[in-house]
């Protein structure tokens, strides 16, 4: 009897392992869309703001450099304080950040929110 329970428990744990992997992979994809999307979004932004190529390159460079630096800092903080605490502490503010933009009715209001 106990052998059958072990096999059944191993099957359930195996399914959870694949589900967890799939969820982590989807989270990585969604997170990476912000980085990948910047390359696409910069084109209309540069046209709207009349930026030349060097200004556009400076914006892209600063975006990716700050992203790389924050990744290093976040990894160090996560190692120091524990990944579970850091994930919980970062999810709440990032989920609340879009709320003021939903309340802003026009561009002037959005500039005041930021």
Per-position DSSP letters for 40-51, written without gaps between them: HHHHHHHHHTT-
Angle between helices 83-96 and 53-81 (to 10 degrees): 140
pLDDT single digits (tens) 48-100: 989 899 999 999 999 889 888 988 998 899 899 988 888 888 777 777 777 76
Q: Is the dihedral of CA 34, 39, 41, 45 positive or negative?
A: positive
What pTM value is reported for the model?
A: 0.56
User: Residues of the chain with pLDDT > 70: what percent?
Assistant: 74
């Amino acid at each position: 009897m106990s052998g059958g329970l072990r096999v059944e428990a191993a099957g359930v744990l195996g399914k959870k392992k694949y589900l967890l992997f799939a969820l982590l992979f989807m989270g990585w994809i969604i997170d990476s869309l912000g980085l990948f999307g910047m390359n696409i979004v910069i084109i209309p932004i540069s046209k709207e703001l009349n930026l030349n190529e060097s200004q556009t390159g400076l914006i892209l460079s600063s975006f990716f450099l700050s992203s790389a630096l924050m990744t290093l800092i976040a990894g160090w903080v996560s190692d120091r304080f524990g990944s579970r605490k850091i994930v919980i502490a970062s999810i709440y503010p990032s989920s609340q950040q879009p709320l003021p933009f939903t309340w802003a009715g026009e561009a002037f209001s959005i500039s005041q929110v930021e």
